[in-house]
Amino acid sequence: MGQRIRIWLRRIGRVVIVLILTVTAASFVYNRMTVPPNEIEPGFGSYVRVGDASVHYQHWGTHGSPIVLVPGAFESSIVWQNVGPLLARNHRVYALDMSWYGYTRDISPITLTGQAELLDGFIGALHLPRPLLVGHSMGAAVTARLALDHRQAVSGVVFADGDARPIPIGNDAVRWVLHAFASATPYLTSVTRIMARWPSGAESMIRSVCGNPCPGLTPALAKQWVRPLGQRSAVDALHSWFGGDSYGLTTDEISSIAVPTEIIWGDGDQEGGTLQGAIANLGHPPVYIIKDAGHLSMLANPAMFASAVEAAARTR
């Protein structure tokens, strides 16, 4: 009986190896046949020079106090497409692409401190007087880092669906393995190119984390969301992201933020860290819960999200 089991295990092992080799070979062939341009033009928004980087951003509104919207991982300024115009009725609103995704051209390593400095440079380049920062998901960590390092540059910080704590992906060894896997295999490249070519699949994935019914997510927005994946520089940025730091602050650092803070959170969000942890670390600031929202509360209910940001702007 034991020998029969060993024979079957060897057969299963050989099948698995053949499948892995077949998928890997197909991935290499697909990547060779679908080489995209290194960069593509966004077709919307503007660019501003920040050091050696060229930062892509969108702008809404002509009057009022400035608000800067910072996207999370695998997000660009597109994620703010619904909220930006709503806030623009009373504010000058800016949404930028960070180095990790979108159309910003930046060849420097992607680190939390580096992204905070990029954000600070963006604020300076546009001469924005102490804007309110709204950071979504991993963007919350960037805004928190900037508020700690350059308190005088901002008037307040809003954590949206993010607690600014490190991403729980394991220790340095685990991150090294992820980086090595992403760099040494063709799979990440294949996945990004497939998503860029068939955005309908990506729309389903985005909708699954957004909340129900997610009225802010349309097929057109989903297509714009994944379009940056159609450039080779996007894969380079993802490799840098996987090999970077943990993109989070300690609880003591978050508790030391000295500017006014606020929290916006989807009532069904399970991906932005912990709401209770964010509340405790920020010293129990005002909290706005977005009903029927997941991790993308700005798309699940743009009007309610904008109203919560307006409340933070009034107290700055």
pLDDT band at 146; cut points 50, 70, 90: very high
Q: Are strands 46-50 and 53-60 parallel, antiparallel or unpaired?
A: antiparallel
CATH class belonging to 46-169+243-314: alpha beta
Higher pLDDT, 269 or 316: 269
State residue 210's pLDDT score.
Answer: 95
Instruction: Tokens 């500017």: give the residue.
Output: 259
pTM above 0.75, yes or no: yes
Cross-sheet strand order for the sheet of 46-50? 46-50, 53-60, 92-96, 66-70, 132-136, 156-160, 261-266, 287-290
Q: What is the rounded average pLDDT of the residues 10-16?
A: 66
Domain residue spans in the chain?
Answer: 46-169+243-314
CA dihedral 132, 55, 300, 111 (to 10 degrees): -80
State residue 9's pLDDT score.
Answer: 64
Name every residue whose Cβ is closer than 8 Å to that of residue 206 and which is 6 or more positions away in sequence.
Answer: 217, 222, 225, 296
Task: Say which amino acid occupies 260.
Answer: P
In this predicted structure, the answer to whether residue 221 has a pLDDT above a threshold of 90 is yes
State residue 121's pLDDT score.
Answer: 98
Q: What is the rounded average pLDDT of the residues 58-80?
A: 97
Q: Are strands 261-266 and 287-290 parallel, antiparallel or unpaired?
A: parallel
Q: What is the pLDDT of residues 235-268, one digit of tens each?
A: 777 766 665 566 899 999 999 999 999 999 999 9
Burial of 150: CB neighbours in 10 Å, binned 0-12, 13-18, 19+ = middle
* Alpha helices (H) in 135-218, listed in sequence order: 138-149, 172-184, 187-197, 199-210
- Measured CA to CA, the distance from residue 136 to residue 95 in angstroms comes to 11
Among 15-24, 123-132, 197-206, 262-271, the range scoring the smallest mean pLDDT is: 15-24
Q: Which CA distances in Å does 29 have to 14, 25, 34, 198, 268? A: 22, 6, 9, 18, 40
- Measured CA to CA, the distance from residue 228 to residue 251 in angstroms comes to 34
State residue 237's pLDDT score.
Answer: 74
State residue 28's pLDDT score.
Answer: 52
CB contact at 8 A, 148 and 256 = yes
Among 14-18, 232-236, 263-267, 309-313, the range scoring the smallest mean pLDDT is: 14-18
Please report the sign of the dihedral spanned by the C-alpha atoms of residue 272, residue 101, residue 143, residue 171. positive
In this predicted structure, the answer to whether residue 33 has a pLDDT above a threshold of 90 is no
Q: What is the pLDDT of residues 194-219, one digit of tens each?
A: 776 777 888 999 999 998 889 999 99
Query: Token digits for 20?
Result: 């892995």
In this predicted structure, the answer to whether residue 24 has a pLDDT above a threshold of 80 is no
CB contact at 8 A, 37 and 232 = yes
- Measured CA to CA, the distance from residue 98 to residue 9 in angstroms comes to 47
